[in-house]
Amino acid sequence: MEVPKIVENPPGKKAQKIVKEDAKYIATSTKTSPIVAARAKNAIVEDVDGNQYIDFSAGIGVINLGHCHPKIVNAVKEQADKLFHFAGTDFYYEIQVELAKKLAQITPGKFDKKVFFTNSGAESNEAAIKLAKWSTQRKQFIAFIGAFHGRTMGALSLTASKPVHRDRFFPMMPGVNHIPYAYCYRCRYKLEYPSCGMWCAKILDEVYLDTFIPPDEVAGIFVEPVQGEGGYIVPPKEFLPELKKIAEKHGILFIDDEVQAGFGRTGRMFAIEHFGVTPDIVSIAKAMGSGVPIGAIVFNAKYDWGVEGAHSNTYGGNLIACAASLATIDVLQSEKLVERAAQLGEHMNKRLNEMKEKYEIIGDVRGLGMMQATEFVKNRRTKEYAKKERDKIVELAYKRGLILLPCGRSGIRYIPPLTIEEEYLDKGLDVLETCIKDAK
| pLDDT tens-digit series, residues 102-130 | 999 999 999 999 999 999 999 999 999 99
Last-in-domain residue among 314, 334, 354: 334
Other CB atoms within 10 A of residue 214 CB = 10
Contact residues for 333 (Cβ-Cβ < 8 A; gap 6+) = none
User: Do 142 and 286 sit in the same domain of this protein?
Assistant: yes
In-domain check, residue 87? yes
Mean model confidence pLDDT for the chain = 96
Distances from the Cα of 241 to the Cα of 111, 185, 206, angstroms:
19, 20, 16
Q: Which of 22, 59, 31, 18 is nearest to 418 (CA)?
A: 59
Domain coverage including residue 7? 1-38
| pLDDT at residue 180, rounded to an integer | 98
In-domain check, residue 393? no
CA 259/CA 265 separation, integer angstroms:
11
Return the percentage of the chain with pLDDT > 70, whole number. Answer: 100
Measured in degrees and rounded to the nearest 5, phi and psi for residue 19 equal: -60, -40
In-domain check, residue 68? no
| pLDDT at residue 90, rounded to an integer | 83
pLDDT digits (tens, 9 = 90+) for 59-86: 999 999 999 999 999 999 999 999 998 8
In-domain check, residue 269? yes
User: Do 289 and 160 sit in the same domain of this protein?
Assistant: yes
**Pairing mode, if any, of strands 113-118 and 295-300?**
antiparallel
User: Do 226 and 318 sit in the same domain of this protein?
Assistant: yes
Domain count, the chain: 2
User: Do 31 and 99 sit in the same domain of this protein?
Assistant: no
Contact residues for 227 (Cβ-Cβ < 8 A; gap 6+) = 144, 146, 147, 148, 161, 181, 183, 233
Confidence category of residue 133, pLDDT binned at 50, 70, 90: very high
CA 206/CA 212 separation, integer angstroms:
11
Distances from the Cα of 389 to the Cα of 330, 345, 378, angstroms:
41, 25, 8
pLDDT digits (tens, 9 = 90+) for 263-306: 999 999 999 999 999 999 999 999 999 999 999 999 999 999 99
Q: In this structure, are residues 134 and 160 in contact, taking their beta carbons and an 8 Å threshold?
A: no
Q: In this structure, are residues 301 and 100 in contact, taking their beta carbons and an 8 Å threshold?
A: no
pLDDT digits (tens, 9 = 90+) for 182-208: 999 999 999 999 999 999 999 999 999
User: Do 211 and 275 sit in the same domain of this protein?
Assistant: yes
Beta-bridge partner residues of 118 = 295
CATH number, domain with residue 78: 3.40.640.10
User: Do 218 and 119 sit in the same domain of this protein?
Assistant: yes
The arithmetic mean of pLDDT across residues 9-23, rounded, is 95
| pLDDT at residue 200, rounded to an integer | 97
Q: In this structure, are residues 8 and 50 in contact, taking their beta carbons and an 8 Å threshold?
A: yes
**Pairing mode, if any, of strands 253-257 and 281-284?**
parallel
Examine the pLDDT at 88 and tell me if it is beyond 80. no
Q: In this structure, are residues 295 and 124 in contact, taking their beta carbons and an 8 Å threshold?
A: yes
In-domain check, residue 310? yes
Q: In this structure, are residues 113 and 104 in contact, taking their beta carbons and an 8 Å threshold?
A: yes
In-domain check, residue 258? yes
Model pTM score = 0.96
Among the residues of 175-268, which ranges form H helices?
Answer: 199-203, 209-211, 239-250
Burial 404-424 (b: 16+ CB within 10 A, else e): bbbbbbbbbbbbbbbbbbeeb
CA 285/CA 362 separation, integer angstroms:
31
CA 164/CA 99 separation, integer angstroms:
36
User: Do 2 and 79 sit in the same domain of this protein?
Assistant: no
| pLDDT at residue 440, rounded to an integer | 74
pLDDT digits (tens, 9 = 90+) for 337-363: 999 999 999 999 999 999 999 999 999
Contact residues for 417 (Cβ-Cβ < 8 A; gap 6+) = 42, 43, 55, 58, 63, 64, 65, 66, 67
pLDDT digits (tens, 9 = 90+) for 35-47: 999 999 999 999 9
pLDDT digits (tens, 9 = 90+) for 17-30: 999 999 999 999 88
Last-in-domain residue among 269, 303, 334: 334
